[in-house]
Amino acid sequence: MSRFWSAVVHGLTPYVPGEQPKLDNLVKLNTNEHPYGPSPKALEAIRAATGDSLRLYPDPNADALKAALAQRHGLQPQQIFVGNGSDEVLAHAFMALLKQDRPLRFPDISYSFYPVYCGLYDIPHRTIPLAEDFSIRVEDYLPQDGEQPGAIIFPNPNAPTGRLLPLEAVERIVAGNPDAVVLVDEAYVDFGGESAIGLIDKYPNLLVVHTFSKSRSLAGLRVGFAAGHADLIEALERVKNSFNSYPLDRLAIAGAVASVEDEAFFQASCRKVIATREKLIADMRALGFEVLPSAANFIFASHPQRDGAELTAELRKRAIIVRHFKAARIDQFMRITIGTDEQCDILVEALKDILGR
Ligand code: PMP
């Protein structure tokens, strides 16, 4: 703390991401990265972009990436916004679209960056408790007793629970709030959900945000995008151009375009993670764990007799890192990223050891 800090800085509570330990030989299942590498075509494109052209600024509009994404999703390029990771895309959306006079609504258990952005941009908000089974209740997001949400955001599948809200339920929320932006954060949707991007031409209030960090295994490249009505996208572009005109560098644009064009690799790599997830869920249930249904590349699991923090610490002693959240209702749980088959087997063996099985 310093007397030179502005009042804004004093009031901030920064987001603390999952740790990135520097040790080798860890089974690292704490930050939902993809266990296998990105498309070889993406790596090749990144290598090819590391030449003399790095002297030059990148395309500030990343038109090549917008065109590739628009084609992949059946949209127009002006319906796509790209940014430096979906965190940056979300940051711009909070400022450009979610800051309204009426409170923004989001689930009390969801991505912990949302309250951070609300603090940063001074956004009035109301958190809504999840149902008993950790699902999102559609009625809580519809105008009630004459009170309309200012805007709505939720992850789908939700994080850290992994639970999916079916597309028809998402559509009821979007259709029920024609005067409010509904942002669906689909960071994990490729692992078993159905994207709301297909609804965009029907609903001008719908914004869908995706990341290249999970299903495309490019977390290190920092690429995310939003898809929505051109008016919503224009608002994001305005904020971006007032903040950082070059969010994506040349390597990121080249790698992301090649990744989008390698559809076969993408589909196969998502299928692989899903198959491993289903096996891990079965193995953990056999050990007595309660595991929420997951449509993501992680699971949320608790043991009726064992404390979540203690299990996390025991795993850590065995060089396995999972995520534990010290928060109401979920402190019995561990969020476990789906690793390779081998990593998941190591995890299951360690849990057997801890449980004395
Ligand atoms: N949304 C959700 C729900 C997430 O869990 C994450 C990853 N922590 C993000 C967005 C941001 O991902 P990135 O910035 O890597 O695109």
273 inside domain: yes
Check residue 20 and give its pLDDT. Answer: 78
Q: Is 100 helix (H, G, I), strand (E, B) or coil?
A: coil
- Tell me, what's the pLDDT at 146? 78
Closest residue by Cα to atom 7, ligand 1, is 187
Residue 75: per-residue pLDDT: 98
Q: Which two tokens stand for residue 256?
A: 């992301």
Task: Give pLDDT, residue 106.
Answer: 98
> Is the CA virtual torsion 74, 77, 78, 83 positive or negative?
positive
Q: How much distance in Å is there from the Cα of 181 to the middle of ligand 1?
A: 20
Residue 141, amino acid: Y
CATH number at residue 196: 3.40.640.10
Q: How far is the CA of 187 from the centre of ligand 1 (A)?
A: 6
Residues 33 and 167: their CA atoms lie apart, in Å, by 25
Same domain, 82 and 185: yes
Q: What is the pLDDT of residue 7?
A: 84
**Rounded distance from Cα 218 to ligand 1 centre (Å):** 12
Verify that 95 and 112 share a domain, yes or no.
Answer: yes
pLDDT of residue 80: 98
- Residue 87 beta carbon below 6 angstroms from any ligand 1 atom: yes
Contacts of 35 (CB under 8 A, 6+ apart): 273, 276, 337, 338, 339, 340, 343
Task: Give the β-pairing of 104-107 and 151-155.
Answer: parallel
* CB 83 near ligand 1, within 6 Å: no
Has residue 4 been placed in a domain?
Answer: no
Tell me the one-letter amino acid at 47.
Answer: R
Instruction: Please give the structure tokens belonging to residue 316.
Output: 């850590």
16 CA to centre of ligand 1 in angstroms:
12
d(CA 50, CA 268): 28
Q: Say whether both 130 and 234 belong to one domain.
A: yes
Strands (E), the chain: 27-28, 80-83, 104-107, 125-128, 151-155, 181-185, 206-211, 224-228, 290-291, 298-302, 320-321, 333-337
157 within ligand 1 shell (Cβ under 6 A): no
Q: Looking at residue 32, which CATH number applies to its domain?
A: 3.90.1150.10
Measured in angstroms, how far is the CA atom of residue 298 from the centroid of ligand 1? 13
Beta bridge partners of 298: 337
- Residue 169: the pLDDT is 98
* pLDDT averaged per 10 residues in sequence order, the chain, 357 residues: 85 80 85 97 98 96 98 98 98 98 98 95 97 98 91 98 98 98 98 98 98 98 98 97 93 98 98 98 98 98 97 97 96 98 98 96
* Nearest ligand 1 atom to alpha carbon 88: 14
- Whether 185 lines ligand 1, by a CB cut-off of 6 Å, is yes
Would 310 be classed as within a structural domain? Answer: yes
- Which helix H or strand E contains 69, and what residues bound it? helix 63-73
73 and 193 in a common domain = yes
- Using a 10 angstrom Cβ sphere, with 0-12 exposed, 13-18 middle and 19 or more buried, the burial of residue 82 is buried
The helix (H) or strand (E) run that includes residue 281 is helix 263-286
Which pLDDT score is estimated for 11? 81
Q: What are phi and psi of 43, to 5 degrees?
A: -65, -40
Same domain for 69 and 147? yes
CA 307 – ligand 1 centroid, Å: 27
> pLDDT at position 300, please?
98
Co-location of 235 and 88 in the same domain: yes
Are 240 and 120 members of one domain? yes
**Last residue of one domain, picked from the residues 209, 238, 261:** 261
Q: Whose CA is nearest to atom 1 of ligand 1?
A: 187
What is the residue type of 94?
Answer: F
Residue 297 CB–ligand 1 contact under 6 Å:
no
Distance from C-alpha of 67 to C-alpha of 218, rounded to nearest angstrom: 19
Count of structural domains, the chain: 2
Task: Say yes or no: CB of residue 86 within 6 Å of ligand 1.
Answer: yes
Prediction pTM value: 0.96
pLDDT for position 25: 81
* Residue-number span of the structural domain to which 54 is assigned: 40-261
Same domain for 239 and 129, yes or no, is yes
Q: Are residues 205 and 345 in the same domain?
A: no
- Residue 186 Cβ contacting ligand 1 at under 6 Å: no
87 Cα to the center of ligand 1, angstroms? 6
Residues 54 and 155 in one domain: yes
The answer to whether residue 2 sits within a structural domain is: no
Chain centre to alpha carbon of residue 238:
23
Please check whether residue 271 is in contact with residue 332, taking contact to mean a CB–CB distance below 8 angstroms: no
Percentage of the residues of the chain whose pLDDT score is greater than 70: 99
Q: Find the 305 Cα to ligand 1 centroid distance in Å.
A: 31
Residue 72: both structure tokens together = 């992949």
209-226 tens-digit pLDDT: 999 999 999 999 999 999
